[in-house]
Amino acid sequence: MAIIIDGKAVAQRVRESVKAQVEELKNKGISTTLAVIIVGDDGASRVYVNNKKKACAEVGIISEEYALPASTTQDELLCLIKMLNDRSDVNGILCQLPVPDHIDESAIINAISPAKDVDAFHRSNVGAIMLGDYSFLPCTPAGIMELIKQYDIDVKGKNCVIIGRSNIVGKPMAMLMLHSDATVTVCHSKTKNLKEIVKNADIVIAAVGRAKFVTADMIKEGAVVIDVGINRDENGKLCGDVDYENVMPLTSYITPVPGGVGPMTIATLMQNTVIASKLANAFFTENN
Ligand code: GUN
């Protein structure tokens, strides 16, 4: 019988812990602020940014939104980031991706001060994750690791297959699984024999961005299946990268969409923002 992983409940517990930490900082006279930049009018980005602001309000983090028009130049955006880097009262900065095509995404990511990079996308934070010596973890992979921990899922020595090699999910996920002693395989669009590789997995992490891409014939009986996708099916209904209905009965644990990985991403962002605040105020937090 599959256990359905309740991401909403775990995320709620993380948010409660963050709220207590924010309160503790407040009692020491330290406020916690997240600056959120959105460029252009991408509908999905607007929903994500609204959800991030709502989560901030819930846990007592101050959020500042910088909504810029699609015509914003790269220099204007870099100028804003510099101003936010220089402000000591801003602890975390994130620029919602994607940015318009005329802006170099990598230049933006790497302009954010690594100490305020709560997405953990900056090249120096990515390098720190490689080495297992980090302050911030990228929100979705860290959220998945927290779900695995909360459900006592054994990772050591297990075959973990990650489908998708994005900088945001696939690559850092592989590192975190490796740090947890899993044997990791990363599959992508050029992978040969995908079905056979996935069929051998004890843990499958699907981050492809294609509705119901992972089907029942690819899954080993008793596998753990983590679904990172948020897509619409042919009827416009929200669905993941996994054909949930048919895959679920084969699994030992599975994350639903919605209510699985999604809520954890934002909860981790809140946690990262508090970590940034604590690091910036280390003197006060350690000596008071
Ligand atoms: N776009 C899609 N996911 C993310 C994310 O986690 N952070 C940012 N900044 N942009 C995104």
Among 52, 158, 171, 212, the active-site one is: 52
Phi, psi dihedral angles at 162 (to 5 degrees): -105, 125
Mean pLDDT by 10 residues, the chain (288 residues): 97 98 97 98 96 98 98 98 98 98 98 98 97 95 98 98 97 98 98 98 98 98 98 94 98 98 98 97 70
Residue 1: its pLDDT value, please?
A: 87
Identify which of 66, 119, 169 to mutate to test ligand 1's pocket (most ligand atoms within 8 A of the CB): 119
* Closest protein CA for atom 2 of ligand 1: 97
Kind and range of the H or E element at 63? Answer: strand 62-68
Are 231 and 180 in a shared domain? yes
pTM over 0.75, yes/no: yes
Determine the distance separating the centroid of ligand 1 and the alpha carbon of 97, expressed in angstroms. Answer: 5
Q: Which sign, positive or negative, has the C-alpha torsion 155, 161, 165, 166?
A: negative
120, part of any domain: no
N residues, the chain: 288
Are 178 and 230 in a shared domain? yes
DSSP codes, 214-270: B-GGG--TT-EEEE---EE-TTS-EE-SB-HHHHGGG-SEE--SSSSSHHHHHHHHH
Residue 286: its pLDDT value, please?
A: 63
Number of domains in the chain: 2
Residue 288: its pLDDT value, please?
A: 53
Are 109 and 144 in a shared domain? no
Instruction: Supply the range of the domain harboring residue 102.
Output: 29-113
Determine the distance separating the centroid of ligand 1 and the alpha carbon of 221, expressed in angstroms. Answer: 33
Q: Does residue 109 have its Cβ closer than 6 Å to ligand 1?
A: no
Are 84 and 190 in a shared domain? no
For residue 191, give the amino acid letter. Answer: T
* Closest protein CA for atom 11 of ligand 1: 97
Residue 281: its pLDDT value, please?
A: 94
| 35: β partners | 64, 93
Active-site residue flag, 52: yes
Residue 287: its pLDDT value, please?
A: 55
286, part of any domain: no
Determine the distance separating the centroid of ligand 1 and the alpha carbon of 200, expressed in angstroms. Answer: 31
Are 82 and 145 in a shared domain? no
**CATH, residue 45:** 3.40.50.10860
3, part of any domain: no
Nearest to 281 by CA among 26, 19, 20, 53: 26
**CATH, residue 225:** 3.40.50.720
